[in-house]
Structure 1
Amino acid sequence: MTDAPERVHPTDLELAALISSKICHDVIGPVGAIYNGLEILNEDDDEEAQAYALSVIRNVTEQASARLQFARFAFGAAGSAGALIDLGTAEQISRGFIGQGKHKLVWKGIAGHMAKDKVKLLLNLIAVAVTALPRGGEIEVLMQGTIETPGFVLRCCGTAARPPQHLGAFISGEDVPPLDALTIQTYYTWRLAETAGMNLSIVKDGDDVLLSALS
């Protein structure tokens, strides 16, 4: 029997640096678009151009705000150790993160306040589920069990639905990709599940992909 590959984790400082890179990667695009819109306002007196610039600034400011709010809860402390987070707030943050683009969020959660680390896991699972739908589609969030011992099942339904990028590798420990700003969220999701004592799995259900975290 072949021994399981040894897990090599980043140091705390390396993990912090990688997550910081991830957050910067996510917000630099919208911030750059805001700057470009402001330049148009300063340099172009055409009313149509100014109206377009204001529209762009408004949209990307909302996008940047939603991504930062999501990062605050998905990666940040969001309260002291053992803190509880309202699942209504988690839903609102998730909807802001998904936005009005090619992905749609269907939330079938339970009401109440859940332990911070489990909510962080759920938020990161939603972000990872987006990579299962490269052409867009519907992410259905289902919760089972209780507030204290929940289970999460995310159904990813859309054209060309596939297993979330890199998650299977982190679960199995085989062909694990190098950690960078693009893979750190998947790695962090796996680590959160491990800390919460929940098992991650990826299952194909017809054309859909099921992403689960169960105790």
Structure 2
Amino acid sequence: MTSSTDLAALLCSRLCHDMLSPVGALNNGLELLADERDPAMRENVMELLEQSARTSADKLKFFRLAFGAAGGFGDMVDSHEPKALIDALAAANKRLEVNWALSDARLPKPAVKVLLNFAQIAMDALIRGGTLDIGAEMRTDGDHGNTEIVVRAVGPKIAFDETIGKALDGTLAPGELSSRTAAAHMIALLAEDSGGGLQYRLTPDSLVLGAVLPAPEGLIG
């Protein structure tokens, strides 16, 4: 059984791994700027610094809501928030096209966390680029309701670690939990705690991730 402390440590490791590249680029750019005197080269270095700073900020904003408590948000999150976060990360990959189908102006925070992590898994899988389709919809039936989420990645080559699939469907062995699988394990626990579930389907050129999450009490209506 993995403790919450172990899971938090692994999520921090994943965050640090993803932040290493843009922060390293910032450091390299500052070192170049200190030694460079050519105006044209200094301008190029400044562009590098601006890009790296923007990428770092985008990643931190993404992980704050995907992994963290995100205390600045209420129980319901404006749908524009996850869309803006994912679009910002996807913009760095010119071979990636993102299509959206969000039916509601606001989504429960747990659903937003699942959506963000699904999108991250799908983007990581599209190593040669492709299309990312993201949809979410809240459905109600009297006093009950749920949020349905679907993220589909389609491309010429799908790179999907089977241990991530095990983490999503709850069959991950304790020894297989790592910084690579921690995010998938986290949202699987989140879905289980809420009475919902996750699923995925993999083919050579597509990956479909799906979730059904019951809406928290008090958010229906």
What interval of TM-score do these two structures reach, taking the shorter chain for normalisation?
0.7 to 0.9
Q: What does the per-residue CA deviation read over 1:94-113, in whole Å, with 9 as the maximum and x for residues that have no partner?
A: 11222331333211112322
**Structure 1 unmatched ranges of 5 or more:** 1-7
Cα offset, 1:209, TM superposition: 2.3
Q: Which runs of 5+ in 2 are unaligned?
A: 214-221
Gap change, CA 1:164 and 1:213, over 3 Å in 2: farther
| Displacement of 1:127 | 0.8
Supply the distance in 2 between the matched residues of 1:81 and 1:39 (Cα, whole angstroms). 37
Matched, 1:149 2:142: no
Please say if 1:127 is aligned against 2:124.
no
- Equivalent of 2:157 in 138, 156, 160: 160
* Closer, same or farther: CA 76–109 of 1 in aligned 2, 3 Å: same
* Between 72-81 and 19-28, the greater mean CA deviation after superposition: 72-81
What is the identity percentage for the equivalent residue pairs of Structure 1 and Structure 2?
Answer: 27
Match of 1:179 in 2: 177
| Local SS of the residue matching 2:23 | helix
| 1:33-71, Cα deviation, whole Å (9 max, x unpaired) | 011111111101012221111111111111100000001
Q: Which of 96, 101, 107 is 2:100 aligned to?
A: 107
Q: Are 2:56 and 1:64 equivalent residues in the alignment?
A: yes
TM-score (structure 2 length as normaliser): 0.83
- C-alpha separation in 1, matches of 2:72 and 2:51: 33
Structure 1 runs of 4+ aligned residues shifted over 3 Å read 162-165, 174-177, 204-207
Give the conservation status (yes or no) of the 8 Å contact 1:152–1:212. yes
Return closer, same or farther for 1:187/1:194 CA change in 2, 3 Å cut-off: same
Is the alpha carbon distance of 1:34 and 1:165 closer, same or farther for their aligned partners in structure 2, counting shifts above 3 Å?
farther
Displacement of 1:163: 4.5
The match for 1:97 is: 89
Q: Please say if residues 157 and 209 of structure 1, whose CA atoms lie closer than 8 Å, have aligned partners that are also in contact.
A: yes
Q: CA deviation at 1:164?
A: 5.7
- Cα distance change, pair 32–207 in 1 and its aligned pair in 2 (3 A): closer
Q: Which is further off, 200-209 or 46-55?
A: 200-209
User: Is the 2:135–2:151 Cα contact (8 Å) retained in structure 1?
Assistant: yes
Give the Cα–Cα distance (whole angstroms) in 2 for the partners of residues 195 and 98 of structure 1: 30
Aligned counterpart, 2:34 = 42
Aligned to 2:187: 189
Is the CA contact (8 Å cut-off) linking 1:166 and 1:186 kept in structure 2? no
Give the superposed CA RMSD: 2.4
How many correspondences in the alignment? 207
Q: In 2, are the aligned partners of 1:67 and 1:97 still within 8 Å (CA)?
A: yes
